Structure 1
C-alpha cells in the first residue's frame, strides 16, 4: 500500500464492499434513482411501476436484480451507497437497523442486541 501524493490505495476488508470512486461510478444510476426518492411522489412512482422506474434511470441488470429482490447487500455490491439506499429501504419499511442486520449477517433483533452490548 502506497500513501504518497498521486498514488491511490485500496484497503481490503474481507466481506466488505468499500465505497470508493470506482464504486461511485459503477453505481451512479442506482444512487441517482435512490436520491430522487427524497420526494414522496418519486417513491410512489417507483412503487407503481418499478420496472419502468429502473429503466428510466438506466439501471444495469445487476442493479435491477438486486432491486427486485430487495437485496440491499447486492445493491451495495452493484455500486449503491448506503446513504442513498436508505431511501430505497424506507419504501419497503426497512429501518437502518434492518439494513445493519443484513450487512452483518444478523437478524434485526440480533443487530439491536449487538448495538446495545456496545453501549
Structure 2
C-alpha cells in the first residue's frame, strides 16, 4: 500500500480501495450506531458490543479509546466515525478537534478562517515527473 503516489503526504491517510477493505467491519459497526437500540447496547458494554463485529483488535481498542486518528489509520472513514462521537453526544467539531493540537473552540475558529495552511502539507518528495509539487 505504501507504493501509491499519494502515500507520502504528511498527516494524510487517503481512503482508497485498500482502506475500504481494511475498515469494512469498523465502518459497518459505526453505521450500526444509527439505531437507538444499538447505541444503547454499545453504551451499556462497549467491549461486548464490539466483540460482535469481526474487527481487528487494534480497531476495537481505538474505538474504546476514541482515538479517531488511529481509527482513520485503521480504515475508518470520518463520515462513519462521527457516529461514535455522536453516540457520546459530541459534535463533529469536537471529534475532529481531537485529531489536532487545538481545543474545540480553536479548531472551529481555524475552520472559520479557511482551515489549515497548505504549507507543509504537500508531498514529502518532490517529483515533477509525477506532477508532485
The answer on 1:58 being equivalent to 2:54 is yes
Shift >6 Å, 4+ stretches: none
Within-5 A mapping of 1:1-119: 9-11=4-6, 12-118=8-114
Superposition deviation, residue 49 in structure 1: 1.8
- Of Structure 1 and Structure 2, the greater helix share is in 1
Question: Taking structure 2 as the reference length, what is the TM-score of the superposition?
Answer: 0.76
Question: Taking structure 1 as the reference length, what is the TM-score of the superposition?
Answer: 0.85
Instruction: List per-residue Cα deviations over 1:79-100 (Å, max 9, x = no partner).
Output: 1111111111111122111123
Q: Which has the larger radius of gyration?
A: 2
How many residues end up aligned between the 2 structures?
Answer: 112
Unmatched segments (≥5 aa) in structure 2: 116-133
SS in 2 for 1:56: coil
Q: Which has the higher contact order (CA 8 A, sep 6+)?
A: 2
Superposition deviation, residue 47 in structure 1: 0.7
